[in-house]
Structure 1
């Protein structure tokens, strides 16, 4: 046991008695995004159920690699350890991860990246039982699609053999990973349904919110094209773009807005806190996403919990959600006019029966509560003989 860990156990003897789950993930708080939210919410729920939780992650954000974060921190009872890295944000190299697994009862890897491969091939060094959650794999765009498929069917298949269970967070992931791991397990992601619960405007407004990283695959360009079509039909339409810089930065998005003459019709909010996001949502009625790929569609569920009616691009993850929850509207955002019409239709439906639509949205979101989803993960941990006392 490391000296630091031994000191923590002496200060609180109960810590030494509880099983330790070590989550390994490339980005974590204070970064904001679907992956980070999933690990944070699962970690908090696991702590409440009597486990110790450590998150091993990289020591800087991909958007600001030169700004080093504290090497150790405690966030909501979760021990956070940040380690140096090099290489690309697509496949960051961080071999120091092995130094922080020695006292783990279970290692839970998130996403298919360097950590997934390194911990698989180094299992004879650490000898820890492992599970992995897929989070969409690495097929977020069609770029290098042929190479990705070869990698998936060879190296990913080989690495997966080191894991006790491969957990898929969406039906589309399950279809894909079952090709290489037939006994893959489905545990869909949870949503923080309390964060923005029931705060969307009570009066239907022609105001749309989109939330997510400024990534190429989110296709903000397609959403802005739809907005350009909408505003020619009715100048009251307004879009709030909320998110953090990623493949695209603030200047890129601002240029895309200005090039479509949407200044004044589109407001950009870069890395706002939850309080600011709440204020934005309270003025809106619709949520839209033109994303061409999603691992699960977490942000759409959080929007639904707020009472925002989603209009979503018909990718696999969003189509699965819409099949399950018909209140969700699907659109083809590669066609600006078609997408604009879908948004108008959603607004008209909301205007006609706003109370009924809102009730359907809130009811659908409740099924994705983290309390429910964490219980499924705890069941998996226990099946692997990693038990803890219930609080």
Structure 2
């Protein structure tokens, strides 16, 4: 049996990230495990991390540091050095422009990357001239990859523009099948829900707070729950923004939400909101559909893949708080529209089961690296 090493800065317990990519490699690799002699995942170190196994998949950390910037820099250095001497039969990487594994490009015959989204020029909008660096790193990584897994078609086409010879597998993300099992109805369902990384800019939570403030006068009992993982600074920022918008008493920020609590929140919410400025796939929004909920999201690459626009979700232009507020008002004022979106939500989500995702990727990895 063959061995597999997988490098990803992110991990489900990482307080600075803990995003959908971390969920993805956990769910896929734990399903890979029976077909491999050994699978080891090397993640970025963070306070409180300890090496462990999940269903036979070994998780170890590289680097270290008390801040995200330090942790990422040390991880990139250690991971690149280790990868040069890694003797695994296949090496995978959750591609990141902020912890790039350029060493993998030196061993292309047994190396593949997973790309969730494109940075493009979006970081120039956020960071100015400094945003050109991640753009350049992204293009360098794409140009050197021979084998890549993408989670949406727009990313695939963007990579092929840079690297026409790359071999690509399109493979969407999945969701927890337990969400398809109806939960008991919660007595007070009058809350909107966001679940994900509590990053005000990336996830568009600043816009959501503005949109929420605009509809509260017509819906005085409505609340907003922002749940997920976030740094203390991000949580403080959201609390401050809530107060500035005049809705502090109606907004609840819940960091470090576990899976059981997430399922309860999804079961009880009125509708799910995910106004990301850009999104690679949108696992949390798909999970909301799996729980039978209507979704309000943005018209990005990822949400066009994970949701069924106008059938299970409404999409609005990213970065547009006015459009977000109008759509939110529609969903609150028109319960028949909300029920229509809910009607097909679970059926749509069923096609994205993790078992099917893992089976497709395992077949591709075997054909690409082990059966040549």
TM-score, scaled relative to structure 1: 0.80
Alignment match, 1:134: 115
Confirm whether residue 263 of structure 1 aligns to residue 248 of structure 2: yes
**For the residues of structure 2 that align with 1:352 and 1:151, how far apart are their CA atoms?**
41
State the 1:344 CA deviation.
3.2
Alignment match, 1:304: 289
State the 1:250 CA deviation.
1.7
Alignment match, 2:272: 287
Deviations 1:46-73 (CA, angstroms, capped at 9, x unpaired):
114455311011121xxxxxx2522x32
Distance of aligned partners of 1:291 and 1:353 in 2 relative to their CA distance in 1, 3 Å threshold = closer
**For the residues of structure 1 that align with 2:322 and 2:368, how far apart are their CA atoms?**
52
**For the residues of structure 1 that align with 2:89 and 2:268, how far apart are their CA atoms?**
46
**Is contact 1:198-1:306 (8 Å) kept?**
yes
**Is contact 2:278-2:318 (8 Å) kept?**
no
Confirm whether residue 75 of structure 1 aligns to residue 58 of structure 2: no
The one of 175, 180, 201 equivalent to 2:157 is: 175
TM-score, scaled relative to structure 2: 0.84
**Is contact 1:229-1:336 (8 Å) kept?**
no
State the 1:339 CA deviation.
2.3
Distance of aligned partners of 1:292 and 1:334 in 2 relative to their CA distance in 1, 3 Å threshold = closer
Unpaired runs of 5+ in structure 2? none
**For the residues of structure 2 that align with 1:195 and 1:281, how far apart are their CA atoms?**
12
**For the residues of structure 2 that align with 1:175 and 1:90, how far apart are their CA atoms?**
32
State the 1:322 CA deviation.
4.9
Superposition CA RMSD, Å: 3.1
Distance of aligned partners of 1:69 and 1:341 in 2 relative to their CA distance in 1, 3 Å threshold = same
Distance of aligned partners of 1:80 and 1:91 in 2 relative to their CA distance in 1, 3 Å threshold = closer
**For the residues of structure 2 that align with 1:160 and 1:352, how far apart are their CA atoms?**
41
Once the two structures are superposed, the pairs formed by residues 133-282 of structure 1 within 5 Å of their partners are 133-139=114-120, 141=123, 142-144=125-127, 152=135, 156-160=138-142, 162-182=144-164, 183-199=166-182, 205-215=189-199, 216-246=201-231, 248-282=233-267
Distance of aligned partners of 1:175 and 1:36 in 2 relative to their CA distance in 1, 3 Å threshold = same
**For the residues of structure 1 that align with 2:357 and 2:230, how far apart are their CA atoms?**
29
Moved more, 336-345 or 199-208: 199-208
State the 1:359 CA deviation.
4.0
Higher-Rg structure is: 1
Unpaired runs of 5+ in structure 1? 1-17, 61-66
